[in-house]
Structure 1
Amino acid sequence: MIQTVIFDMDGVIVDTEPVHRYAYFQHFEELNIAVTEDIYTSFTGLSTRNVFQKLKESFEINQKVEDLIQRKRSIFNDAFDSKEDLELLEGVENLIKELHQNGMQLILASSASKVTIERVFRRFKLHEYFTHVVSGEDFPKSKPHPAIFEHAASLSIAPKENCIVIEDSTNGVRASKAAGILCVGYNSIHSKDQDLTEADVVINHFNELGFDAVKNLDSKLRNN
């Protein structure tokens, strides 16, 4: 029986991608580098640190990674605070509340920084539902490396065989599978060009999930 659900944040709980995109491309313009759509899409699921580490390998950028991170976050924070129409993704709040009310443990494992996670959790009052929050900034390698999900599973009240991950990105799904954890791929309209074929099950809306469906997901998949 599933006892712990590990949520990604961006593209699963809230769509901050437009704000991130705005911040990144504003920063790219300041740096005078031409980042294509293909390159930008390949960054989905990576931490800000890993994004800039990769950019420094491809472009002539003199600034230190730490300085690049701080500038991008500054642009993001200003844009986030002024974006009034930022909402939780449809159906996810009901799912979170239903799972929590039925005693399911919820853990967040996001590539986002602690500052960004805290902004989202404070704005939408999510702290009471999650026992742990894990940020990708604490790990040297981003998804698809499994470290973040391995750590999240170590915080679970149950063995990882009784955990699931909900992810919307190619890198996130691969990280979950590399960690040996069942994965629900969320086919989000906000996460373009992502390959979810490695997920154990794919959903298009959170109304396809609920406590009973999640609880029995491990046994259902084993019997298929």
Structure 2
Amino acid sequence: MIKTVIFDMDGVIVDTEPVHYYAYHKQFKELGIVVNDEMYASFTGFSTRNTFQKLKETFSLVPEVEHLIQRKRTIFNDAFDTKEDLYLLEGVEDLIKDLHQNGMQLILASSASKVTIDRVFTRFNLHPYFTHIVSGEDFPQSKPNPAIFLHAASLSVAPKENCIVIEDSTNGIKAANSAGIFCIGYNSEHSKMQDLSLADMKINHFSELNFDKISQIESYIR
């Protein structure tokens, strides 16, 4: 029986991707580099640090990674704070509340920085529902490396066989697979060019899930 649900954030709980897209591409223009859509999509699930490490290597960028990170966060935060049309994805708030009210443990495992996670969670009052928040900035490698999900599962009230992950990205699903955790792939309209084929289960809308359906998923060993 499932005891813990591990949520990704971007593309699963909230769509901050347009803000990230704006911030990254404004910075790309400042740096004088062209990042096509295919390359940009490959960074989905990456931490900001790993994204800029890859870009620095690819384009031989002069600024240090830390400087690039701070500049991107400044652009993102300014845009986030002024963006009024930012909402939780349809149906996810009802699912979170249903799971919490029925005693399901909820953990966030997001590649986003702690600052960004806190901005989202404060804006939408999500802190009361989650027992732990795990940020990708604490790990040397981003998804598809399984470290973030293995750590999240270690915080669960139950073994990882009694956990599930909800993800929308190719890299996130690969990370869950490598961690040996059952993965529900969310076919988010906001997450472009993502391959959900490796997910153990797929959904198109959060109305397809509730406490009863999730809790009845059999204990899982990959």
* Contact residue 23 and residue 75 of structure 1 kept, 8 A: yes
Alignment partner, residue 145 of structure 2: 145
Superposed displacement of residue 218, structure 1: 2.3
* Contact residue 144 and residue 173 of structure 1 kept, 8 A: yes
Alignment partner, residue 187 of structure 2: 187
* Contact residue 182 and residue 218 of structure 1 kept, 8 A: no
* Contact residue 144 and residue 174 of structure 2 kept, 8 A: yes
Superposed displacement of residue 170, structure 1: 0.1
Which amino acid in structure 1 is aligned with residue 132 of structure 2? H
Superposed displacement of residue 221, structure 1: 10
Alignment partner, residue 206 of structure 1: 206
Alignment partner, residue 96 of structure 1: 96
Gaps of 5+ in 2: none
SS at match of 1:133: strand
1:197 aligns with 2:213: no
CA 1:61/1:220 → structure 2, altered by over 3 Å: closer, same or farther?
closer
- 1:58-69 matches, within 5 Å, as 58-69=58-69
Which string of whole-angstrom CA distances, capped at 9 and with x for unpartnered residues, describes residues 189-209 of structure 1?
A: 000110011110000000000
Structure 2 Cα separation of the partners of residues 187 and 176 of structure 1? 16
Alignment partner, residue 159 of structure 1: 159
Percent identical among aligned pairs is 73
Gaps of 5+ in 1: none
Alignment partner, residue 54 of structure 1: 54
Superposed displacement of residue 219, structure 1: 5.4
Structure 1 Cα separation of the partners of residues 217 and 117 of structure 2? 28
Structure 1 Cα separation of the partners of residues 218 and 45 of structure 2? 25
Superposed displacement of residue 147, structure 1: 0.1
Superposed displacement of residue 217, structure 1: 1.5
Which amino acid in structure 2 is aligned with residue 29 of structure 1? K
Structure 2 Cα separation of the partners of residues 3 and 208 of structure 1? 18
Which amino acid in structure 2 is aligned with residue 209 of structure 1? L
* Contact residue 184 and residue 202 of structure 1 kept, 8 A: yes
* Contact residue 200 and residue 221 of structure 1 kept, 8 A: no
Q: Alignment length, in residue pairs?
A: 222
Which string of whole-angstrom CA distances, capped at 9 and with x for unpartnered residues, describes residues 168-187 of structure 1?
A: 00000000010000000000
Which amino acid in structure 2 is aligned with residue 75 of structure 1? I
Q: Post-superposition, which runs of at least 4 consecutive aligned residues in structure 1 deviate over 6 A?
A: none
